[in-house]
Amino acid sequence: MNRTELVDAIAVKADISKKDADAAVKAFIEVVSDELQNKGKVQLVGFKDQGLHSS
């Protein structure tokens, strides 16, 4: 799934506009990226533990 597909799916599931879904995805990516850059850890309960690491 790419970003566009993710935005579309979130818009449908949350019954929000694609614009709002895109803003939410952008904010999510920024928050996760900031945390990883600060050597933090991101855990999302319900996701298989693949380990999100900064590159």
Q: What is the DSSP string of 1-55?
A: --HHHHHHHHHHHHT--HHHHHHHHHHHHHHHHHHHHTT-----TTS--------
**CATH code, domain with 15:** 4.10.520.10
- pLDDT tens, residue by residue, 2-54: 999 999 999 999 999 999 999 999 999 999 999 999 999 888 887 765 555 55
Domain count, the chain: 1
Whether this model's pTM surpasses 0.75: yes
Show the domain range for 45. 1-55
- pLDDT tens, residue by residue, 8-21: 999 999 999 999 99
Distance, in Å, from the CA atom of 23 to the CA atom of 54, rounded to the nearest integer, reads: 22
